[in-house]
């Protein structure tokens, strides 16, 4: 036990090995055939008999009191089954689930006051969506506008009418506290140099093609809801939806549908399923509510971090990094669904890959008249990456040290792992030098430096950026509440389970207890089970449980899934293997210790042809009880369930000297983009892009590379284009995809050259690490650095994103004016 906590023993059973048959292979995705031919059933594909369709009337105001609302004309429109106000909804349902403590009350339909443009003001169920929308047009609402709170720094001092949630006090500060880890003041006093920057990270969000949708029904006889929905976390905390609906948890079954993309946005959706369920009970028919794009962009759970940082990095003149202080104002919008979990998350790797002795984080989470924050690839840690990388670049420039050399000098060294950072989180393993070296090779740095020099002579501006970023994976539940001042939900478990069954013919069935949300859960499960049981992945069928059948499972998110489901399958397969061996030992009259599972059969070691296939053994296990030993615990069948706990979590220190281990499976990446900036127009073109990731043992290099490339394009979006932009009145000016600019293939590099380093985790099965978010974690700081490098002759500094042509041109224009 040290100031930074203690490191528990590893519970790893399967060591990383070179002789694996399926893990590590670029196997084609099991999900693809049915999805690519259009046979996947998504929420909007579901049609129930008598099903009604919902539409929502949304607030045109950022902040207003609802003086009166009249739905009578809507009610009278032929085809309308129900028009529901916030007051009506409040009679039958409680506030939505929240991790904030004290809670921030959020109603499924706003009752007395609206807090952001797009908040639900009324909902209609009708025989079709057209009529439901016609009816919304007929609802009359009188609003009394209240002052809109849009600027996060102004929100710090709001009082009176500008306060969104007066019941929490006369302030828009949702939570404010300063956490100090290690001797920050001493380290700053010892510093030769302090780099100070104000850094602005823009509000963007995951943009799945498919919005959030649910089909809900209520069985009057059983008093029971069924909700089919493209959400996750239903087997973790789906019962919270039941509480909101005021039924006992066993009176709600949540059935997952395929999700047409998530990027985090469907982590735990609550508004849409609750709305569909409340309406379904009111009209006595199944109700479908499918968000349209505006429903989604204005009122989803997937607006992401929106932060102002006042950051200070203390260092020695020789380049030794000492300490990091940040004052953060995070614009959470109107509600706090996951509390300030995004800042729990950010504490996991806020010092980057560097030895930094101490950290201070002073956070103000402010409430403003914008859509609430939720989850998006990075969940707050990507911002910390951007900040530390910008500071390190600035420090190198200030000291006249090469940006790459300064990084190398401060890297945590391979022999220092497992390593506890000042906040208490553990970095399980890593080899940052190796990742950097590999990227430099793929990027041809020397070649580009030469081309850059040539281009400068022609008046062209080419730049090269280097970012070395952490890529934490496998969150544990403590990140959601570690910042809270008052105890609320203080969970310490975040497991994932699977059920595995071998049928009498030897075919394998895996039930996952978390959903498909655009990743490759079936492919991972098939590969790992095939490895474990030495069977063909084609003999494995994968299905998804609902909450009725579900085992405790946290679900994908925080790059957990591959690590967690691998752990669960190793656990379940172990039980099955043990039973197979036991039966085989009996039937072949051999000692269990002499048996081995190989090529889908149990063999007697060293005896040629003494073997029984899994199919033969499964047949015996199912139908020949009387051929088995008498043991009471040897029951018929061949199945197992296993709930795999988070591989390594420790509690936050009661005195908050550290926050425990909560995000320990630490990947790493290096991104090197080469860009050309057109200084007259501010346009940025990618000339090259290299990215190397270390995600431990790779399960499937092909799907991992998909994550890396896709995530990198998300990062390009954040760096250059995407912003949920609210004007002074609190109007979302980028609610449509014509204005919210998602990069397309034309704005992306012609190729993103991907490389790998594999430093296995000593804590997870086979040494696997998560890799779902890294592209977006490494892209923005690397791209910012590349642009800054291109514009070095002009003296442009990048500390705010995004940088569409107009914003970059403004920086260039200012720099040119300063120079003139």
Partner 1 sequence: MKPARFRYLRAASVNDALQALAENPDAQILAGGQSLIAMMNLRLVKPACLIDINRISNIGYIDEDGDGVAIGALARHNDVKHSPLIRERCPLLTEAYESIAHHTVRNRGTLGGNLCHADPSSETPAVMVATGATLMLQSLRGQREVGAEDFFLGTYETARRQDEMLTEIRLPGRRTDGWAFAEISNRHGDFAIAVIATTLRIEDGRCEAARVVASGVGEHAARLEPAEEALIGGPIDDARLDAAAAAAAGAVDPHSDSHADAAYRRDAIAALTRRTVRRAAARCD
CB atoms within 10 A of CB 516: 24
Cβ nearer to partner 1, comparing 126 with 768: 126
The answer to the question of residue 741 lying near partner 1 (CB under 8 A) is yes
Nearest Cα neighbor of 232 from 206, 261, 205 is: 261
**Three-state SS for 433?**
helix
Q: What residues contact residue 62 under an 8 Å CB cut-off, 6+ apart? A: 114, 115, 116, 117, 148, 150, 369, 370, 726, 729, 730, 731
Number of residues forming the site for partner 1 (CB under 8 A): 31
Residue in 67, 450, 538, 810 binding partner 1, rule: CB under 8 A: 810
Residue in 160, 746, 750, 819 binding partner 1, rule: CB under 8 A: 746
Half-sphere exposure of 778 (CA within 13 A, CB side): 38
**Token code pair at residue 159:** 């009082």
Cβ nearer to partner 1, comparing 14 with 723: 723
The answer to the question of residue 725 lying near partner 1 (CB under 8 A) is yes
Cβ nearer to partner 1, comparing 126 with 435: 126
Provide, rounded to whole angstroms, the least separation between the CB of residue 414 and partner 1: 42
Q: What angle, rounded to 10 degrees, do the helices at 701-716 and 774-790 form?
A: 50
Cβ nearer to partner 1, comparing 174 with 682: 682
Cβ nearer to partner 1, comparing 706 with 743: 743
Q: Using CB under 8 A, which of the segments 98-106, 580-588, 738-746, 764-772 binds partner 1?
A: 738-746
What is the spatial distance between Cα 381 and Cα 384, in angstroms, rounded to a whole number? 5
The answer to the question of residue 744 lying near partner 1 (CB under 8 A) is yes
The answer to the question of residue 680 lying near partner 1 (CB under 8 A) is yes
Long-range contacts of 576-580 (CB under 8 A, 24+ apart): 576/500, 576/502, 576/533, 576/638, 576/639, 576/640, 577/532, 577/533, 579/621, 579/634, 579/638, 579/640, 580/614, 580/617, 580/621, 580/638
Provide, rounded to whole angstroms, the least separation between the CB of residue 297 and partner 1: 12
Q: Using CB under 8 A, which of the segments 15-23, 362-370, 516-524, 735-743 binds partner 1?
A: 735-743
Residue in 222, 589, 738, 819 binding partner 1, rule: CB under 8 A: 738
Parallel, antiparallel or unpaired: strands 419-420 and 193-201 = unpaired
Q: What is the largest CA-CA distance in the chain?
A: 95
CB atoms within 10 A of CB 38: 7
| Contact pattern from residue 248 through residue 287 relative to partner 1, giving x for each residue in contact according to CB under 8 A and a dash for the rest | ----------------------------------------
Q: Using CB under 8 A, which of the segments 23-31, 87-95, 130-138, 357-365 binds partner 1?
A: 130-138
For 321-351, give one letter per residue: b (16+ CB within 10 A) or e.
bbbbbbbbbbbbbbbbbbbbbbbbbbbbbbb
∠ at Cα 123 (287, 277), nearest 5°? 35
Name the DSSP class of 73: H
**Three-state SS for 76?**
helix
The answer to the question of residue 743 lying near partner 1 (CB under 8 A) is yes
Residue in 6, 605, 813, 818 binding partner 1, rule: CB under 8 A: 813
Q: Which of residues 280-309 bind partner 1 (CB under 8 A)?
A: 292-294
Residue in 140, 170, 599, 739 binding partner 1, rule: CB under 8 A: 739
The answer to the question of residue 370 lying near partner 1 (CB under 8 A) is no
Q: What angle, rounded to 10 degrees, do the helices at 432-443 and 445-457 form?
A: 50
Nearest Cα neighbor of 366 from 100, 178, 174 is: 174
Provide, rounded to whole angstroms, the least separation between the CB of residue 44 and partner 1: 13
Cβ nearer to partner 1, comparing 453 with 810: 810
| Contact pattern from residue 27 through residue 56 relative to partner 1, giving x for each residue in contact according to CB under 8 A and a dash for the rest | ----------------------------x-
The answer to the question of residue 733 lying near partner 1 (CB under 8 A) is yes
| Number of helices and strands in the chain (H, E) | 21, 29
Residue in 45, 50, 76, 137 binding partner 1, rule: CB under 8 A: 137
Cβ nearer to partner 1, comparing 26 with 744: 744
Provide, rounded to whole angstroms, the least separation between the CB of residue 739 and partner 1: 5
Residue in 502, 766, 809, 811 binding partner 1, rule: CB under 8 A: 809
Q: What residues contact residue 168 under an 8 Å CB cut-off, 6+ apart? A: 102, 104, 174
- Give me the residues that bind partner 1 (CB under 8 A), please: 55, 129-130, 133-134, 137, 292-294, 680-683, 721, 725, 733-734, 736, 738-739, 741, 743-744, 746-747, 804-806, 809-810, 813
């Amino acid at each position: 036990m040290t100031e930074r906590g203690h490191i528990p023993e590893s519970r790893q059973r399967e060591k990383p090995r070179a002789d694996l048959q399926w893990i590590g292979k670029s196997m084609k995705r099991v999900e693809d055939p049915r999805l690519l031919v259009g046979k996947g059933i998504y929420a909007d594909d579901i049609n129930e008999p008598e099903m009604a369709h919902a539409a929502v009337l949304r607030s045109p105001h950022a902040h207003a009191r609802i003086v009166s609302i009249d739905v009578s004309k809507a009610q009278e429109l032929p085809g309308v089954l129900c028009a529901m106000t916030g007051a009506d909804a409040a009679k039958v349902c409680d506030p939505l689930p929240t991790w904030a403590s004290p809670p921030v009350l959020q109603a499924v339909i706003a009752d007395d006051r609206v807090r952001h443009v797009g908040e639900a003001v009324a909902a209609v169920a009708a025989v079709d969506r057209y009529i439901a929308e016609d009816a919304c047009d007929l609802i009359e609402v009188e609003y009394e506008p209240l002052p809109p709170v849009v600027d996060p720094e102004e929100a710090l001092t709001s009082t009176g009418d500008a306060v969104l949630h007066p019941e929490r006090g006369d302030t828009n500060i949702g939570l404010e506290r300063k956490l100090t880890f290690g001797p920050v003041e001493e380290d700053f006093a010892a510093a030769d140099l302090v780099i100070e920057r104000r850094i602005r990270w823009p509000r963007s969000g995951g943009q799945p093609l498919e919005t959030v949708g649910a089909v809900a029904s209520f069985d009057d006889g059983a008093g029971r809801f069924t909700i089919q929905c493209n959400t996750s976390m239903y087997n973790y905390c789906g019962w919270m939806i039941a509480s909101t609906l005021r039924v006992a948890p066993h009176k709600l079954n949540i059935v997952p549908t395929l999700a047409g993309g998530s990027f985090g946005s469907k982590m735990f959706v609550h508004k849409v399923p609750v709305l569909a369920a409340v309406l379904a009970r009111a009209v006595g028919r199944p109700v479908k509510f499918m968000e349209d794009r505006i429903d989604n962009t204005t009122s989803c759970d997937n607006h992401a971090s929106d932060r102002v940082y006042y950051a200070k990095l203390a260092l020695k003149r020789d380049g030794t990094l000492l300490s990091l202080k940040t004052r953060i104002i995070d614009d959470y919008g109107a509600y706090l669904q996951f509390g300030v979990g995004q800042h729990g998350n950010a504490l996991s790797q806020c010092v980057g890959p560097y030895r930094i002795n101490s950290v201070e984080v002073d956070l103000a989470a402010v409430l403003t008249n914008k859509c609430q924050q939720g989850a998006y690839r990075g969940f707050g840690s990507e911002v910390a990456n951007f900040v530390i990388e910008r500071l390190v670049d600035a420090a190198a420039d200030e000291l006249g040290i090469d940006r790459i050399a300064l990084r190398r000098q401060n890297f945590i060294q391979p022999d220092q792992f497992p390593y506890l950072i000042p906040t208490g989180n553990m970095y399980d393993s890593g080899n940052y030098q190796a990742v950097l070296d590999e990227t430099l090779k793929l990027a041809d740095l020397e070649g580009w430096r030469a081309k850059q020099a040539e281009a400068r002579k022609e008046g062209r501006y080419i730049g090269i950026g280097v970012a070395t970023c952490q890529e934490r994976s496998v969150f544990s539940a403590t990140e959601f509440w570690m910042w809270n001042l008052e105890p609320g939900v203080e969970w310490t478990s975040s497991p994932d389970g699977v059920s595995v069954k071998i049928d009498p013919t030897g075919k394998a069935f895996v039930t996952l207890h978390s959903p498909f949300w655009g990743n490759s859960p079936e492919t991972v499960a098939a590969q790992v089970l095939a490895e474990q049981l030495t069977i063909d992945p084609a003999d494995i069928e994968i299905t998804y449980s609902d909450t009725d059948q579900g085992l405790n499972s946290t679900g994908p998110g925080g790059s957990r899934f591959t690590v967690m489901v691998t752990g669960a399958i190793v656990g379940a397969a172990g039980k099955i293997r043990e039973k197979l061996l036991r039966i085989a030992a009996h039937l072949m009259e051999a000692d269990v210790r002499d048996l081995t599972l190989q090529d889908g059969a149990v063999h007697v070691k060293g005896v040629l042809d003494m073997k029984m296939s899994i199919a033969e053994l499964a047949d015996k296990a199912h139908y020949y009880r009387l051929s088995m030993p008498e043991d009471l615990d040897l029951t018929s069948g061949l199945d197992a369930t296993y709930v795999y706990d988070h591989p390594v979590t420790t509690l936050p220190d009661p005195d908050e000297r550290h926050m425990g281990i909560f995000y320990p499976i630490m990947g790493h990446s290096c991104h090197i983009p080469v860009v050309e900036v057109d200084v007259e127009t501010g346009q940025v073109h990618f000339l090259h892009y290299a990215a190397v990731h270390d995600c431990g043992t790779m399960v499937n290099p092909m799907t991992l590379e998909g994550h890396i490339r896709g995530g990198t394009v998300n990062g390009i979006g954040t760096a250059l284009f995407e912003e949920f932009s609210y004007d002074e009145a609190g109007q979302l000016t980028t609610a449509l995809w014509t204005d919210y600019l998602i990069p397309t293939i034309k704005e992306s590099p012609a190729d993103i050259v991907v490389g790998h380093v594999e430093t296995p985790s000593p804590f997870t099965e086979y040494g696997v690490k998560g890799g779902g978010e890294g592209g977006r974690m490494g892209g923005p700081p690397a791209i910012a650095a590349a642009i800054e490098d291109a514009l070095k002759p002009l003296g442009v500094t990048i500390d705010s994103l995004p940088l569409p042509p107009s914003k970059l041109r403004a920086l260039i224009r200012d720099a040119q004016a300063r120079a003139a």
